């Protein structure tokens, strides 16, 4: 029987994905569960539902609640947090780069750096200098990775990943999959890990 594993589907523009990304590594290690990082674009799924923007931007009261809730959750987990000056930042290039990085040993660290850049340092993760900074020390060829992430193949792969996720039933992020069992939201991270430990690989 294979070791327990969990798929972590994350959008780099999602504040709750920031929380999960910074929490999941030690929690998964303690649970004996492997994490498969699945960066993806949530925007196409929203647009398929008729939303042209984040649902949090449609209602000022809901957006205000989002940032207050994020502040509380970050304080709960003792994580730094700063509401970004622009939300959401639709970071296609960053996502495509994270998709390529998912096969490397530094996938988690790279995604954590990007999410921290967005939700701690209020940096624009769409910009090349921000991506290069996130790659610093992880690879000897950061510019090469940036170039790879702009190729048409990974562009189409990102679109296909969003389409596949929607067909599978994904509607928000973060989402965790254990086999065919889906868990949505940062507050379901522990439940997903516990489920993975129960059912194994």
Q: Which residues, other chains included, contact 187 with Cβ-Cβ below 8 Å and sequence gap of 6+?
A: none
Average pLDDT value over all residues in the chain? 94
* Inter-residue contact 91 to 51 (CB < 8 Å): no
Q: Which pLDDT band holds residue 155 (cuts at 50, 70, 90)?
A: very high
- Does the pLDDT at position 62 exceed 70? yes
Model confidence band, residue 87 (pLDDT cutoffs 50, 70, 90): very high
- Domains (ranges, CATH) in the chain? 5-199 (3.40.30.10)
**Four-CA torsion 23, 162, 68, 187, nearest 10 degrees:** -40
Find the distance separating the first CA and the last CA of the chain, reported in whole Å: 7
Per-residue pLDDT at 21: 99
**pLDDT, position 65:** 95
pLDDT higher than threshold 80 for residue 150: yes
Residue whose pair of structure tokens reads 């660290």 in the numeric block: 109
Look up residue 62 and give its two tokens: 């809901």
Percent of the chain with pLDDT over 90: 87
Closest among 25, 46, 27 to 37, alpha carbons compared: 25
| C-alpha to C-alpha distance for 17 and 70, rounded to whole angstroms | 11
Residue 44 near residue 82 (C-beta atoms within 8 A): no
Q: What is the pLDDT of residue 183?
A: 99
The pair phi, psi for residue 93, each rounded to 5°, is -60, -40
Q: Is the pLDDT of residue 201 over 70?
A: no
Q: Are 94 and 131 in contact (CB under 8 A)?
A: yes
Taking 70 as the threshold, does the pLDDT of residue 51 lie above it? no
| Structural tokens at position 24 | 């999941």
Phi, psi of 148 (to 5 degrees): -60, -40
Rounded to an integer, the average pLDDT of 1-5 is: 81
Per residue in 26-48, pLDDT (tens digit) is 999 999 999 999 999 998 888 87
Q: Are strands 34-39 and 5-10 parallel, antiparallel or unpaired?
A: parallel
Other C-beta atoms closer than 10 Å to the C-beta of 193 total: 23
Task: Please report the sign of the dihedral spanned by the C-alpha atoms of residue 192, residue 197, residue 199, residue 201.
Answer: positive
């Amino acid at each position: 029987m294979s070791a327990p594993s969990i798929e972590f589907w994350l959008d780099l523009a999602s504040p709750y994905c920031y929380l999960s990304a910074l929490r999941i590594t030690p929690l998964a290690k303690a649970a004996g569960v492997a994490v498969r990082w699945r960066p993806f674009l949530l925007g196409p799924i929203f647009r398929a539902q008729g939303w042209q923007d984040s649902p949090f931007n449609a209602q000022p009261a809901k957006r205000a609640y989002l940032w207050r809730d994020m502040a509380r959750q970050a304080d709960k987990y003792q994580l730094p947090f700063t509401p970004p000056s622009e939300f959401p930042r639709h970071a296609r290039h960053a996502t495509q780069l994270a998709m390529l990085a998912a096969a490397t040993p530094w996938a988690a660290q790279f995604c954590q750096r990007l999410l921290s850049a967005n939700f701690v340092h209020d940096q624009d993760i769409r910009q090349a200098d921000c991506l290069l900074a996130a790659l610093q020390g992880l690879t000897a060829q950061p510019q090469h990775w940036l170039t790879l992430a702009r190729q048409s193949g990974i562009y189409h792969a990102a679109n296909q990943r969003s389409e596949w996720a929607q067909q599978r039933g994904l509607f928000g992020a973060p989402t965790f999959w254990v086999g065919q069992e889906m868990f949505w939201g940062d507050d379901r991270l522990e439940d997903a890990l516990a489920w993975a430990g129960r059912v194994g690989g």
